[in-house]
Amino acid sequence: TKISRQLSPELRQQLEVEIVKNADLFAWSSVDMPRIDADFICHRLAIHKEAKPVAQRKRKVGGERREAILTKSQKLLSVGFIREVRYTTWLANVVLVKKSSGKWCMCVDYTDLNKACPKDSYPLPSIDRLVDGASGHALLSFLDAYSGYNQIMMYPPDEVHTSFITDHANYCYWVMPFGLKNAGATYQRLMDKVFHQQIGRNMEVYVDDMVVKTTSAIDHATDLAEMFT
């Protein structure tokens, strides 16, 4: 959390007090991250009835990548994001992408599964509208949802369709993973439901990125408090 040094000491203190008061809402690891009640929203795949399941052939991976997949899979297991699965008709390969930091980012190749799912045409906000909506305000606070997609549960009958293959076992997701065709639409729908009374007034949202905006700087702590509530 960073607060601009250009703010007055009084205003900085107001913001610090509000942030500390709501410290329990900040996640520093996946363990701290709450799950959204599935009765409120969950992710459904809606696979076409005529679609034929595809079990991808396992791709060969080198030693470093194999260890990275094992490490990432064990971490996902430990935080309850995935579970082992034995019988599945849909099966996808893991894809590893090396970050600029040198660490590996693990994704799943859901190309075949995505082709079998219809597009969710839920409207995402226009970038131009978001920029216009945030301009002309005295203060802006930018927030990012920690591992936001993984806060949404999969619809239980669809969990097994997210299965992926590793050298050690096959797993499927309890939570909505990155890479699914309509994940962004599901997350935007969630945010619109949660913040519908604030969006356009003192807040703008694009999927898992949020901006709290205030016309008068002195009211910014109040607007943050409303968002936290």
The contacts found for 76-79 with CB under 8 angstroms, 24 or more apart, are 76/171, 77/171, 79/30, 79/31, 79/33
Task: Examine the pLDDT at 27 and tell me if it is beyond 90.
Answer: no
Report the sign of the C-alpha dihedral through residues 190, 195, 197, 200, in that order. Answer: negative
Question: What six digits make up the tokens of 72?
Answer: 């990432």
Question: What six digits make up the tokens of 108?
Answer: 């799943």
DSSP E strands in the chain: the ranges are 82-84, 92-98, 104-108, 139-144, 164-165, 170-173, 203-206, 209-214
Per-residue model confidence as pLDDT tens digits over 89-111: 999 999 999 888 888 999 999 99
Average pLDDT taken over every residue of the chain: 93
Q: Cα(108)–Cα(165) distance, rounded to whole angstroms?
A: 9
SS3 229: coil
pLDDT number for residue 131: 86
Q: Residue 164: exposed, middle, or buried by beta-carbon count in 10 A (0-12, 13-18, 19+)? A: buried
Percent of the chain with pLDDT over 70: 100
**What is the rounded average pLDDT of the residues 11-35?**
89
The residue type at 166: T
Per-residue model confidence as pLDDT tens digits over 200-228: 999 999 998 999 999 999 999 999 999 99
What is the pTM assigned to this prediction?
A: 0.89
Kindly list the domain boundaries of the chain, sorted by start residue: 13-24+35-228
Per-residue model confidence as pLDDT tens digits over 161-212: 999 999 999 999 999 999 999 999 999 999 999 999 999 999 999 998 999 9
The residue type at 80: G
CATH architecture of 13-24+35-228: Roll (3.10)
The residue type at 177: P
